[in-house]
Structure 1
Amino acid sequence: MLLKSFKQLFKKPKIKSSAWDASGSGRRVMYWQPERSGINSLLAHSIETLRSRSRDMVRKNPYAANIIDTIVANCVGTGIKPQSKAKDPEFRKKVQELWLKWTDEADSCGASDFYGLQSLVCRSMIEGGECFVRLRNRKPEDGFSVPLQLQVLESEHLDNKSNQTLANGNVIRSGIEFNRLGQKEAYYLFREHPGEGSFGESVRVPASDVLHIYKPLRPGQIRGEPWLSNVLLKLY
């Protein structure tokens, strides 16, 4: 036994065919055929299925629902509460009063306040991979303390099937219009949620009026991936 161990020390090491085990072609990885497409191509073909399965899992699986609840609570907490740094105390007081009035009027649907919207946006981003907030300017006669409201839209509102090159050279990819510099120019959004029956054609909304909230995982990624994508099969 001792002699065998001693000979093992001087045994010529086996030369690997690859510098990395994962780049080899042995039995363990012979059926591993990864996708080589870019992240945007992958999401364009998979986002609708991933999103619907993610939402279905959160509705039906208490563990998935608890994961979402925990992340939202940790991310949002008590919410964004800005404080004026103006030196004039009377001005600071008026700004704070105006802010508090606006937080109650912020939701264009009137179902929540600004702090409730923060949780809703975070939840929608995690569950669906992304969320859109459309800035809705209001007229003075509408009677709001600040002529601005926020409309929260789920990922399904973006027209994923809209892909074309426009006459001005701009390109529409997965419902987002880009100029020649690669900057976002507009979003093509459905007025109604596609899952609510008749939703008609999408409309062009300037990018300056839309907040696109998602977590990019790779350079150049233009759409968000549902956060539960990697564990959906384990939860199923």
Structure 2
Amino acid sequence: MNIIDKALNIFAPGIAAKREQARTEVVRQQAVRKVTNSLIGGVGSNGRGYGKHGASTTKSSMLFWKTPVGDADTDIHQNVPKLRERARDLHMGSDIVAAAHKGLRTNIVGTGLRLNPAFDASYLGLTKEHAETLRSSIQREWALWADTTKCDAAGLNDFYELQGLAFISTLMSGDVFALMPSKPRPWSVYDLKVNLIEADRCATPPDKVNIDRERIQSGVEVDADGMVVAYHFSNRHPGAGGYSLSGSNEWVRVNKYGKRTGRVNVLHLFEAERPGQRRGIPVIAPIIESLKQLSQYTNAELAAAVITSMYTVFITTPADDEGGTPFDGVGMDDEDLDGAEDVPGATGDEIKLGQGAIMRTDPGEDVKFADPTRPNPNYEAFVRAMLKQIAAALELPYEILTKQFTSSYSASRGALLEAWKMYRMRRAWLSKTFCQPIYEEWFVEAVSKGRIDAPGIFDDPAIFAAYTKAEWHGPSQGLLDPTKEVQAAVMRMDNNLSTGTRETAEINGGSWEDNVQQRAYEQTRLKKLGLVQAAPTVVTPSEPSNEGDEDNDDEEGGEQN
């Protein structure tokens, strides 16, 4: 007990008692904190486990890193509109973003994912002849719908162009919606139409914003179990002229599944990253800041290069107190300024710059030439380093993003193979979420109208799945060495690791069925005309070749300078 406490005990015993009580409480809390830290490993404050590293709150590098916890609604849904705006702006104004989006669309969708009916003939009990008849019937009827613009509600695109539009819209906006209304139209065999709706039109109606916010978020409505049951769409895009949240806008609630038939009314294309996430984010969302800064840096370098190309000079004049008159450009002849351009922000009496412009100087004036440091020698190296990080975020090799294959054959092939891992994953996603559901809806209409014979299809879901089973093949990845890769394809088929249909589609995007029919016709014609059919070439596995790999070790791991 110190002297203050002793004095208080004599003159103010009540205050002394409170001080002692407070001191006891502090000691108790310190003891509790010490026990708690010992039980949980001292996370953060005690510097144990992750508290010494990623969860540290005392290290200088982590001291100001504040990361509040938010659910998918807080972290994603509330920020999606701004992400969409900026992603689209970069798509329209940044060359590297446009190249990334269009490159992904070209390699993943290309001319479209083509249907290959793969119904389970064994389960359905179909004979070989019946299976061939059904396959031909499906392909013929599907072409009537998918190969024309009659499948599009707007009448602008065929089914394969709709695939590309849906995919690139998903990349830019994060998600896209496809409605499948039945709209009978003249000269159209099938009534099914595909109506693509941009992401912005799906939003929570203003009169429901503050009503049951847990059930309706960003225009997506769920039930008590969290299952999506409906979407809310505006009849106008928020960026359209005259758009008003409370005025002329009309909102429509569309059930995801039909109440009587259970058919899918709305397809929602997006890639979820978190549980509870109902809306998608643009593919460039994590690198928007880097892309914008890179775009600004590129524009600044370009502007600097243009300005310095004008061979700029500076005119210095004596000071006023020495009797000189500062040069103001007054009195110059028009021909002196021929071909010159105004300096940004300059008035009519100020000097103009131009390509090769010559200007007079007054007595006592001097001319000094600018010493430009353009082109910036570090520009290319810096941009290359940034593009490598951007490419990694997009799951693309740097060579694919920039279309620069300056390394060896093996390095280029490795880059292509790495890219195609992502291409195949996204292609499978597109076929499962867009192509297959639409094909099933079309198949139902074709059977209902009697254009395809599929007995028992509505009796059992298993029979329905057996009839509508399909494969979707897109354009091939191309051949760096056709001989090697065709040999590999033949070996895969010989060892039952693949099929002729799959290999044909992946090598050149063709149809194995069409190829064998055409080949049979060609052989028949050759025989009829008395021509000898050349013996088929026997393909044997070749030894690994290092042809084209003459680069040195340094080039094997990177690009040539």
TM tier relative to shorter chain? 0.7 to 0.9
Identity fraction in percent: 26
Aligned residue in 1 for 2:74: 41
Q: Distance in 1 between matches of 2:216 and 2:186?
A: 34
3-state SS in 2 of match to 1:233: helix
Greater Cα offset, 153-162 or 24-33: 153-162
Q: Which has the higher strand share?
A: 1
Aligned residue in 1 for 2:232: 188
The question of 1:233 aligning with 2:299 is answered no
1:100-119 equivalent positions in 2, closer than 5 A: 100-103=143-146, 104=148, 105-119=150-164
Greater Cα offset, 50-59 or 30-39: 30-39
Aligned counterpart in structure 1 of residue 47 of structure 2, from 17, 32, 35: 17
Aligned residue in 2 for 1:120: 165
TM-score of the superposed pair, with normalisation by structure 1: 0.84
1:60-101 deviation per Cα after TM superposition (whole angstroms, max 9, x unaligned): 000011111122223224432222346523332222121111
Contact 2:180-2:193 at 8 Å conserved across structures: yes
Contact 2:220-2:232 at 8 Å conserved across structures: yes
Aligned residue in 1 for 2:137: 94
Amino acid of the residue matched to residue 173 of structure 2?
G
Query: Residue 188 and residue 97 in structure 1: after superposition, are their counterparts in 2 closer, same or farther (change >3 A)?
Result: same
Amino acid of the residue matched to residue 256 of structure 2?
A
Q: Distance in 1 between matches of 2:288 and 2:276?
A: 25
TM-score of the superposed pair, with normalisation by structure 2: 0.37
Pairwise CA RMSD of aligned residues?
2.0
3-state SS in 2 of match to 1:194: coil
3-state SS in 2 of match to 1:205: strand
Contact 1:164-1:171 at 8 Å conserved across structures: no
3-state SS in 2 of match to 1:33: coil
Q: Distance in 1 between matches of 2:136 and 2:273?
A: 41
Contact 1:164-1:173 at 8 Å conserved across structures: no
Aligned residue in 1 for 2:88: 55
Q: How many residues align?
A: 217
Q: Distance in 2 between matches of 1:115 and 1:145?
A: 18
1:59-98 equivalent positions in 2, closer than 5 A: 59-84=92-117, 85=119, 87=128, 88=130, 89-98=132-141
Aligned residue in 2 for 1:203: 252
- Structure 1 position 165, deviation (Å): 4.6
3-state SS in 2 of match to 1:35: coil
Q: Distance in 1 between matches of 2:68 and 2:141?
A: 52
Query: Residue 99 and residue 164 in structure 1: after superposition, are their counterparts in 2 closer, same or farther (change >3 A)?
Result: farther
- Structure 1 position 214, deviation (Å): 0.2
Q: Distance in 1 between matches of 2:48 and 2:239?
A: 49
1:169-222 deviation per Cα after TM superposition (whole angstroms, max 9, x unaligned): x92222111122221111000122221124513211111311010000111211
Contact 1:55-1:128 at 8 Å conserved across structures: yes
Contact 2:112-2:163 at 8 Å conserved across structures: yes
Query: Residue 63 and residue 95 in structure 1: after superposition, are their counterparts in 2 closer, same or farther (change >3 A)?
Result: same
Query: Residue 62 and residue 37 in structure 1: after superposition, are their counterparts in 2 closer, same or farther (change >3 A)?
Result: same
> Which structure 2 residue ranges, 5 or more long, are not aligned?
1-45, 122-127, 244-248, 258-264, 293-561
Amino acid of the residue matched to residue 233 of structure 1?
E
3-state SS in 2 of match to 1:68: helix
Aligned residue in 2 for 1:12: none
Aligned counterpart in structure 1 of residue 221 of structure 2, from 159, 172, 177: 177
Contact 1:157-1:191 at 8 Å conserved across structures: yes
Amino acid of the residue matched to residue 49 of structure 2?
A
Q: Distance in 2 between matches of 1:108 and 1:137?
A: 9
